[in-house]
Amino acid sequence: MVNFGKKLMADQIPEWKGYYINYKLMKKKVKQYGQQLQQGEKDRRRVLKDFSKMLDDQIEKIVLFLLEQQGLLASRIEKLGKQRAILQEQPDISGIAELREAYREVGINLIKLLKFVDLNATGIRKILKKFDKRFGYRFTDYYVTSRSNHPYSQLQQVFKHVGVGAVVGALSRNLAELQERQGSYLSIYDQPSSALKDPIIDMINSSVDKLTRSTNFLRFLGQHAMIVDEESPSTAGEEEIEDQKYHFMSLMLNLVNTFLYMVNTYIIVPTADDYSVSLGAASTVCGVVIGSMAVAQIFSSIYFSAWSNKSYFKPLVFSSIVLFLGNICYAMAYDMKSLTVLIIGRLLCGMGSARAVNRRYISDCVPARIRMQASAGFVSASALGMACGPALAGLLQWKFKVYMVTFNQSTLPGWVMAVAWLLYLIWLWFSFKEPNRATEVNEAPQNPASGQTVDIGRLENGIAQPLLKDSVDKQNEDEDEVDDIEETADDSRKPATSIGSAYRLLTPSVKVQLLIYFMLKYAMEILLSESSVITNHYFSWNTSAVAIFLAILGLTVLPVNAVVGTYISNMFEDRQLLMVSQITLLVGIIFSFKVTSTYYVVQYVVSALVTFVSAEVLEGVNLSLLSSVMSSRLSRGTYNGGLLSTEAGTLARVVADCTITAAGYLGVGKLLNVTLLPSLVICVASIACTFLTYNSLF
C-alpha cells in the first residue's frame, strides 16, 4: 500500500497546495516529541499542549479555506440562479444547454472540494492515530470529543462537512431540474428520485457517500458486534480486490448461520424445565441443560477463531453438521429417557457455535463501504434469532408419535432445528464461495508491454512537472522512507498468540469493560433461563405465555439499539451512558427481588424489562468502548478482542446457569432471590470499578 504521505502529495490539487494538512511536518514533530520525552526536554503535559495547538492551527487553516471555497460556490450558484430565472421567462434551448454546462462546471469544482475535505479528514485521523501509537495515549478520543462538542467547533466542518450539504443540495436540485425537464422547470420534488440521471450528480453523491459512509446507528451496531469499521481502501486497486473477495450469498449464509444459532440457543428456554422433569430431574436442572451449550461454546470459540485464519467454508460445514447431530440427540433423549443424552446434544450444539467465523468473514471479506451495514445485519440477525426462538417454541405445542418416536413440545424444538440445519447445510454446500486469501493489492496498473507501473493521472499532468528533482526533495523523500519503515515496523506488531499473551495486553480499563460484559451477560442469562421456572411457580404461566414474554423481550433489542445509536449516543459520551445504564440495570435487579409475601406479575414484568433493556444498552456501549480502549494487537489474529469478549460473555452464561441449578436445591421458592443476589453483587462491583477507571475511558 502506498503510504499516506505520498498519497497526499500525489492527490493534492496544485493550486490548493498550501491549504492541505502539513502531514510531513506533523509526522516529524511527533518523532521529535518522542526524542524530547526520552531526553527529558519536555514532559507529557507540554507535549500534549504543543501537539493540540499545532493540530488546531492546521484544522483552522483547512476550515477557513473550506469556508472561502463554499462561499465562492454559493455565489456562483446564486448568479446561475438569476440566469435560470431569466430563461424561465424566455426559454432558449441554447441558453439552457449553456446553463446546464455551467452548473456542471460548478459540480466538478464541488467534487474537488469534497475530495479536499476527505483527504484532510484522513490526514487528521492518521496523524492522531500515529500520535496515539507512538506515545500510548488515548489522545484521539479526547481531542475529537473536546473539539467536536465545543460550540465554536471547527472540527465539525471537516468531519461532518457542515455547510457543504447546503451547496450539494442547491447544485443537485438545479442541475437535476435542467437535466430532467430540459427547461420546463417543473420541481424535482414532484418527481421520483430515480429520475435524477446526470452523471455529475452521481459523482457528487459518490463523494458525499465516501465522507459519510455509515450512519451513527450502523456504526453503533458494528461496534456492538465487535466488528470495527476499518478505514476505506486508499487505492482503486484495493477497492477492486475487496470487491473480488466479496460474495453476497456467502455473506447471507453467514448471517443466516448467526440467526439459526440464536434460534437454536433460545428455542428450548420455555420448555427446558418440563423436559428435565419428564426425564426424572428437578425443574431447575434446566440451568444445566441450557448452560451446557455455553460450556461447549467456551472451547468452540477458540478453535473456530483459529480455523477462520485458513478457511470460512470448512468451519461453517462442520458447524452445520455438529448442530444437526446435536439437535437429533436433544430430541431423541425423550424416548431414550436419558438426561445424559439430552446434555450431550446441547454440548454438541455449543461445539457448533461459528459466531467467530461469522464476525471474521464480515471483517475480512466485506468491502469497507458496506461493512457497517453487514455488521448491523449481524446484530439484527442475532436479535431476531433471540426473539424467534421462544416464539417458535410457543407454536410447537403438538403431540404425536411416528414409529415410536415422540414429537411434543419438548422434542419438537430439536427436530425442527435439525431439519433447519440440514437445509442450511445443503444451501451452504452449493452456494458458499470461499474467498481467495492469496489475493494481493497492486499499487497501480501495470503496463503490459514493459511490466512497469503506470499512473495515468501522473502521465496526464507529467508535462507540468520537472524531469529532475533537486537534492533537497530527494533528501526529504529519503527521510519519509525512513519514517515509513518505522511506521511499517510498528504496524506489523504480531497479534497475541495465546490467551495468556492476550491477557497481558489488557489494561485496567479493558479489564473493567470485560467485567461489565460478564456482569450484563450474567444478569441476562439469569433472567432468561429461569423465567419458565419462576413464572410457572408464582403465576402458573404455561409454555405459550413464557414464549410470548421472552419473544417480546427479544424484540426490544432492535428499537432500543436504534434509539441509542441514532440519538442518545449523539447527546452523551459513551462513558456517561455506561455509568447510567449500569445504575439502571442495578435498579432493575433490585426491583426484581421478592420482598413481600406476594409476588405480582407487574413487578416481575416491569423489572424484567428494565433489566433486559438496560443490559442491551449497556452491551452496545460497553463493546463500543472496549473496541476503542483495546490494544491494536487484539484487533487481529486468533486471540482477538471479539474472542475475549465472547469468552467473557459465555463464561458468564455458564456460571449463571450453574447458579440456577445449584440454587434449585434450596427450593423453587428461594430460587429467585438466591440467583439475583450474585447479579446484585457483581453489578455493584462493576459500577465501583467503572468509577475508578472513569477518566481513562474515552
d(CA 469, CA 455): 18
pLDDT at 591: 95
| Distance between CA atoms of residues 610 and 591, nearest Å | 9
> Is residue 183's pLDDT more than 80?
no
More confident site: 141 or 431: 431
Give 141's pLDDT tier (boundaries 50, 70, 90): low
Q: Which of the residue ranges 99-113, 141-155, 163-177, 659-673 would you say has the lowest mean pLDDT?
A: 141-155
Q: Distance between CA atoms of 359 and 378, rounded to whole angstroms?
A: 8
Check whether residue 155 and residue 264 sit in a common domain.
Answer: no
The verdict on 428 and 345 lying in the same domain is: yes
Question: At residue 622, does pLDDT exceed 90?
Answer: no
- Say what the pTM is: 0.67
In three-state secondary structure terms, 400 is: strand
Mean pLDDT across 326-353: 95
pLDDT at 362: 85
Do 163 and 250 reside in the same domain of the chain?
no
Q: Which of 170, 190, 223 corresponds to the end of one domain? A: 223
pLDDT in tens, 274-300: 999 999 999 999 999 999 999 999 888
Pair 80, 146 in one domain = yes
644 plus 677 within the same structural domain = yes
Residue 174 included in any domain: yes
> Is 176 in the same domain as 116?
yes
Cα(61)–Cα(54) distance, integer angstroms: 11
- DSSP string of 177-223, one letter each residue: HHHHHTT----GGGS-GGG---HHHHHHHHHHHHHT-S-HHHHHHHH
Residue 446: predicted pLDDT: 41
CA 266 remoteness from chain centre:
23
Query: 346: closest CA among 320, 326, 316, 319?
Result: 326
Q: Rounded to an integer, what distance in angstroms lies between the CA atom of residue 325 and that of residue 345?
A: 7
Residue 456 pLDDT exceeds 70: no
pLDDT in tens, 523-548: 999 999 999 999 999 999 999 999 99
**Confidence at residue 194, expressed as pLDDT on a 0 to 100 scale:** 44
Give the N- to C-terminal CA distance of the chain in Å, as an integer.
30
Find the DSSP H helices in 186-312: 199-211, 216-224, 236-245, 248-266, 272-278, 286-307
Mean pLDDT of all residues belonging to the chain:
79
Please determine, for residue 638, whether its predicted confidence score (pLDDT) is greater than 80.
Answer: no
Place 501 in a pLDDT band, splitting at 50, 70 and 90.
Answer: confident
Is residue 656 included in any domain, yes or no? yes
pLDDT at 246: 78
The answer on pLDDT for 691 being more than 80 is: yes
Same-domain status, 208 and 278: no
* Residue 234 near residue 1 (C-beta atoms within 8 A): yes
Handedness of CA 530, 535, 538, 541 (dihedral sign): negative
* 543, part of any domain: yes
> How far is Cα 304 from Cα 318, in angstroms, rounded to an integer?
10
Of 158, 189, 223, the one marking the end of a domain is 223
Residues 212 and 305 in one domain: no
Highest average pLDDT, of 171-180, 323-332, 348-357, 473-482, comes from: 323-332
Cα(377)–Cα(252) distance, integer angstroms: 9
Name which of 51, 59, 63 is nearest 27 in CA terms: 51
What residue numbers bound the domain in which 274 lies?
A: 246-433+504-693
What pLDDT, on a 0 to 100 scale, did the predictor assign at position 439?
A: 47
CB atoms within 10 A of CB 415: 17
Residue 242 near residue 586 (C-beta atoms within 8 A): no
| Residue 642 sits in the same domain as residue 680 | yes
Q: Check which CATH number belongs to the domain holding 652 and give it.
A: 1.20.1250.20
Segment among 32-36, 133-137, 330-334, 664-668 with least mean pLDDT = 133-137
Residue 16 has pLDDT above 70, yes or no: yes
Q: Residue 67: what pLDDT?
A: 86
Percent of the chain residues topping a pLDDT of 70: 74
Q: Looking at residues 446-451, what average pLDDT do you find?
A: 37
Q: How many domains does the chain have?
A: 2
pLDDT for res 88: 74
**Per residue in 395-418, pLDDT tens?**
998 999 998 899 999 999 999 999
3-class secondary-structure state, position 367: coil
Residue 453 domain-assigned? Answer: no
What integer pLDDT is reported at residue 234 of this predicted model?
A: 46
Task: Tell me which of 630 and 125 has the higher pLDDT.
Answer: 125
State whether 364 and 283 are in the same domain: yes
For cell 528533482, the residue is 469
- Predicted confidence (pLDDT) per residue in 579-593, tens digit: 999 999 999 999 999
Question: Do residues 253 and 124 both lie within one domain?
Answer: no
Look at residue 448 and tell me if it is in a domain: no
Answer whether residue 269 is part of any domain.
Answer: yes
Per-residue confidence at 195, pLDDT binned at 50, 70, 90? Answer: very low
- Residues 152 and 283 placed together within one structural domain of the fold: no
pLDDT over 70 (residue 646) = yes
Which pLDDT score is estimated for 139?
72
Question: Would the pLDDT of 474 be above 80?
Answer: no
**pLDDT value of position 162:** 53
Looking at residue 365, its pLDDT comes to 86
**Cβ contact 566:674 at 8 Å:** no
Residue range 31-49: average pLDDT?
A: 81
- Is 588 part of a structural domain of the chain? yes
Is the residue at 473 inside a domain?
Answer: no
Instruction: For residue 690, name the pLDDT band (cuts at 50, 70, 90).
Output: very high
Query: Does residue 130 carry a pLDDT above 70?
Result: yes
**What per-residue confidence (pLDDT) applies to 145?**
64
